[in-house]
Amino acid sequence: MNAKSNKPLIPVEDALAKILSHVTPLDTEWVPLTQSLGRILAEPITSAVNVPPFANSAMDGYAIVAADSAGASAQSPRRLQVVDNIPAGVSPTKRVESGAAARIMTGAPMPPGADAVIRFEETSEYIATDGLAENEVALFAAVKQGDNVRHPGEDIRSGQTILPAGHRLRPQDVGVLAAVGQARVPVYRRPKVAILATGDELVSIEQPVTPGKIRNSNEYVQAAMVEKYGGQPVMLGIARDTIEDLTAKIRAGLEQDVDLFLTSAGVSIGDFDMVKTVLASEGQMQFWQVAIKPGKPLAFGMLHHRRGIPLIGLPGNPVAAMVAFEVFARPAILKLAGCANRQKNSVRARLDEEVTNSGRRHYMRAYVYQKEGEYHVTTRGSGVNIQGSGILSSMVWANGLAVIPENVTYLPAGHSIEVWILD
C-alpha cells in the first residue's frame, strides 16, 4: 500500500505495458553499410542474388571429371593431362574432358565439364612421383561428383529473406549485407533521450564537493545506458528542487526535439520532491509508484508537445534508478528504436542462500557463476550491504539481477530462479 493515498502499487508488468502503450517506433532512414552496426533494421532484407553466384572450388587442387579418379590410390595412381591453370577472379573457358584436369585455386569458378576438385595434397603436387610428363598430374585418391565444389546459392539463395525487420545488426549481419551488395541499409532513427538529474544536493563532476553536496552520478549512468541500448543521450545537467527550475529545464529539453525524457530523483514523498507536480502541469501524469524493489517511487506521464513525449521519472537512489532504467526505460528506448526483441537475456540459476522478499517484485543484485555444469547465484557480496538502493558499487560487483517474483516472500537455498544477465 502507498503510505499517502492508500492506493495499491501498480504491478511491474502493468506499469511497463502502460509505458509501452505510449511509445511508438520512430521514423526510418537509410545509412551506409559501414555505419549500420548496432542499428535496427527497418525492413526485412531479401537477397536479389545467389551467394556464391557461381560454382567454385572449395580447395586448392585440380578440377576433374570425378569418374576419372575412380579406384585411384597411393598404389595405383591415375594420370591426367593438365589443360588449364585457374586463379580466383577469372572466368575459365577451356572444357575439362575425361582424361583432363585444370589446376584450380580456392574460390575460382569451376571450368565447364569438371564436376569435382581433388586437393593438391592427394596429387603429385604434394606427393613426389616419378615418370610424369611436365603437363601431367597423378591422382592418389578417388573423389565423388561434387566433392570440394561450392554450389551457387548454397550460402544465400536469390529471393531469400536474410534478415528480418526489427533486428539489431551485428558484425556477421553486416557481412551478409555486404555479400548481397546492400550498400545502404534502411534502419530506424536512433532515439534521442533527454536526461535530467534533479536535486539541490547535486554537483557536477567538474565542481568541488562542498559540505552537504554529492556528485551527480545518475546522469552519467543514464547517458551510458542510453548509448548501450542504441539511443543518443541529451544530457541536460541538474535541475534544482524548485518548480521554476524544473519547469524551465524540462521545456529546454523538449526544444531539443527529444523522443523520451528521463528524470532522476524528486519523485518520493519528501518536501522537495517536485517532479510529479511539474509533470502534472507540463503534461499528464499516468501513474506513480510501482510494486518493485528497488525503484518504487517511479512516475510516468506524457509531456505536452505536438508529438506527446513520454517522461519516465526514475527514482534518485543510484541503484534504484539503474534497476528502474533496465525494467522500464530500456524497453521504451528499444521500442522507439524499432527493436523487435526487448527481452532481457536471462538464465535459471540455483540460489546459494535463502532470500526473503517484501511482496514487491525484487530485482536483487546478484553474481552468477557456473559450477559443475549448472548456474548458481549469490545475492550476498563479501561484507558490504550490497542490497542497499544507494550502494552503486554493488552494481559494479553484480553481473546479474535476480528476479524474485511479487507475492513470493521466501525462497530456500537451492531454489532455481530467473536471473537477468547485465552484460
Q: Which residues in this chain contact Mg ion in the complex, by CB under 5 A?
A: 199, 265-266
Size of the site for ligand AMP (CB under 6 A): 18
Using CB under 6 A as the binding rule, whether residue 197 contacts ligand AMP is answered as yes
Among residues 265 and 368, whose Cβ is nearest to ligand AMP?
Answer: 265
Smallest gap from Cβ 207 to Mg ion, in A, equals 18
Q: Which triple of cell numbers denotes residue 122?
A: 592427394
Using CB under 6 A as the binding rule, whether residue 194 contacts ligand AMP is answered as no
CB under 8 Å to 153, separation ≥6 — which residues? 50, 51, 52
* Residues listed for the chain: 423
Inter-residue contact 399 to 380 (CB < 8 Å): no
Mapped onto helix, strand or coil, the DSSP state of residue 258 is coil
Using CB under 6 A as the binding rule, whether residue 263 contacts ligand AMP is answered as no
Q: How far is CA 422 from CA 228, 297, 350, 365, 414, in A?
A: 11, 23, 17, 10, 22
Q: CB-based burial of residue 218 (10 Å sphere; 0-12 exposed, 13-18 middle, 19+ buried)?
A: buried
Using CB under 6 A as the binding rule, whether residue 233 contacts ligand AMP is answered as no
Which positions from 309 through 338 interact with ligand AMP, judged by CB under 6 A?
A: 315-318
Smallest gap from Cβ 288 to ligand AMP, in A, equals 12
Using CB under 6 A as the binding rule, whether residue 295 contacts ligand AMP is answered as no
Smallest gap from Cβ 378 to Mg ion, in A, equals 32
Cis peptide bond upstream of 318, omega within 30: no
Q: Is 166 left (phi over 0), alpha (psi -120 to 50) or beta?
A: left
List 166, 186, 231, 266, residue binding ligand AMP (CB under 6 A): 266
Smallest gap from Cβ 385 to ligand AMP, in A, equals 15
Separation CA 272–CA 374 (nearest Å): 48
List 110, 142, 202, 226, residue binding ligand AMP (CB under 6 A): 202
Question: Which ranges of 141-230 does DSSP label H, i.e. alpha helix?
Answer: 171-179, 218-228
Using CB under 6 A as the binding rule, whether residue 270 contacts ligand AMP is answered as yes
Smallest gap from Cβ 285 to ligand AMP, in A, equals 17
Using CB under 6 A as the binding rule, whether residue 394 contacts ligand AMP is answered as no
Residue 357 touches which of ligand AMP, Mg ion, none (Cβ within 5-8 Å per kind): none
Separation CA 322–CA 22 (nearest Å): 21
Give the residues lining the site for ligand AMP (CB under 6 A). Answer: 197, 199, 201-202, 214, 216-219, 264-266, 268, 270, 315-318
